[in-house]
Structure 1
Amino acid sequence: MQTTSQAIMAYAEALPEGATLSARELLHLGERAAVDQALSRLVRRGELMRVKRGLFAQPVKTRFGTRAPSVEAVVEHIAKSTGERVSQSGASAANLLGISTQNPSRQVFWTSGPSRHLKLGAQSVELKHVPSWQLRAPNSRAGHAFRALAYFGKSEAAHALRRIKATLNEEEQRELLSFRASAPTWMAKELSALASSQ
């Protein structure tokens, strides 16, 4: 007969990279105390990683050994399972667009959910709660431009927007301008100035 640990690992191995597990979704495999004990044993043996308290992921086995699952895959799975919106942070968005050379020392994602820290092997990841207007179009270049502009702030907005505009095609610029209604006044003003200059 399969042990609780074996049943958990069989369940985990059927999931895609970055999928997370919690005791609550494993209660069909045993009583809560048995599931908790099995999860702790699996972490100690290195078969699962504790991403944060109560949340686990399976390391990825490669021919070079095991590694943590990709940060993006874990964050994407958390967003899907919780229903929250998640995007790159403003600093990461600016870096992605090539308008900032600063490489953030740790990965930060903006979220509509609660702020929390994740640990993926040696990597520390922060999910930071932000107002919903900062999460417009979380996966588009125009959305990244919007977050980059918010990151540079009011004092650097005009200069930053000129640099941002140069990285976007016409369709992306139109999409960026369409976000004016949800932007704070200072951003809406800069975006309106850009619209009138076109």
Structure 2
Amino acid sequence: MKSGAVAKYIDSIDDGTVFAICDIPNDSSSDSLKTQLSVACKRGRIVRIMRGIYYKPKYNKLLETMIPYNPDDVAYAIARNNGWHIIPGGNSCLNLTGLSTQVPSRFIYYSDGPYKTYNIGDTNIELRHRGSKDMPDSDGLAILIHALKTKGNGNLTQDDIRTLSEYVRSHGVAMDPAEYSRTAPWIKKELQRIADVQPL
């Protein structure tokens, strides 16, 4: 990596961006990257959140203070840095799919990586391992599956099915049976019900 490449990367991203070392185009040693990142931290251009994860500060000019980084962005940066696939946890899946209006207060994610908990200041980020059969590559489909699991077998109303069908259409979720062939039979049945709903 040419000298100053980290500075150029920082220039290319928006204020308020959380990024991982793996996000930086790199053709040199990790020691070179770490040195450049350390210099950028000392100059106040970025803030080190934890090992391998950084934040380009965004300031509230009126209050003259730095806006806190988004823990959700940190979770996804951690996942990218480790090559893990993550999605929001069960209650968040209910919210994202429209089955609940309640916004979860805890930062819980499902991951195809190991169980991990990260304590960052006053924030806890928890990654819970889930098997590959319930973690298809499609985030939309994975969120749908875990919304069903959180709702529970036998607890879905016809209105719920219509709500989930609207989520599928609005988010362009491909309902490919091959992608969920190994999940529980009752989930496959509900996914088929969702796929069969005709738009009004």
Interval containing the TM-score (normalised by the shorter chain): 0.5 to 0.7
Residue 143 of structure 1 aligns with an amino acid whose one-letter code is: A
Alpha-carbon RMSD across the aligned residues, in angstroms, is 4.0
Aligned length: 176
Aligned-partner Cα distance in 2 for 1:163–1:144? 18
Question: Contact between 2:10 and 2:56, CA under 8 Å: does it hold in 1?
Answer: no
Residue 150 of structure 2 aligns with an amino acid whose one-letter code is: Y
Q: Check 1:57–1:66 CA distance in 2 against 1; reply closer, same or farther (3 A cut).
A: same
Q: Percent same amino acid among aligned pairs?
A: 21
Say whether 1:28 aligns with 2:28. Answer: no
Question: Contact between 1:91 and 1:151, CA under 8 Å: does it hold in 2?
Answer: yes
Say whether 1:166 aligns with 2:170. Answer: no
Aligned-partner Cα distance in 2 for 1:119–1:15? 29
The residue correspondences of 1:132-151 to structure 2 (distance < 5 A) are 132-140=132-140, 142-151=141-150
Partner residue in 2 for 1:69: 69
Question: Contact between 1:158 and 1:190, CA under 8 Å: does it hold in 2?
Answer: no
Partner residue in 2 for 1:184: 184
**1:187 Cα offset (Å):** 2.1
Aligned-partner Cα distance in 2 for 1:101–1:175? 24
Q: Check 1:121–1:11 CA distance in 2 against 1; reply closer, same or farther (3 A cut).
A: farther
Question: Contact between 2:162 and 2:194, CA under 8 Å: does it hold in 1?
Answer: no
Aligned-partner Cα distance in 2 for 1:102–1:171? 17
Aligned-partner Cα distance in 2 for 1:163–1:132? 29
- Structure 2 residue runs without a partner (length 5+): 23-28
Partner residue in 2 for 1:60: 57
User: Deviations 1:72-111 (Å, cap 9, x if unpaired)?
Assistant: 3333333333222111222111011221244322111111
Question: Contact between 2:135 and 2:142, CA under 8 Å: does it hold in 1?
Answer: yes
Instruction: Choose between structure 1 and 2: higher helix proportion.
Output: 1
Aligned-partner Cα distance in 1 for 2:68–2:12? 15
Aligned-partner Cα distance in 2 for 1:169–1:193? 9
Q: Check 1:136–1:180 CA distance in 2 against 1; reply closer, same or farther (3 A cut).
A: closer
Aligned-partner Cα distance in 2 for 1:105–1:188? 30
The residue correspondences of 1:103-122 to structure 2 (distance < 5 A) are 103-122=103-122
Partner residue in 2 for 1:93: 93
Partner residue in 1 for 2:26: none
What TM-score, normalized to structure 1?
A: 0.65
Aligned-partner Cα distance in 2 for 1:138–1:70? 23
**1:121 Cα offset (Å):** 4.8
User: Equivalent residue of 1:159, what SS?
Assistant: coil
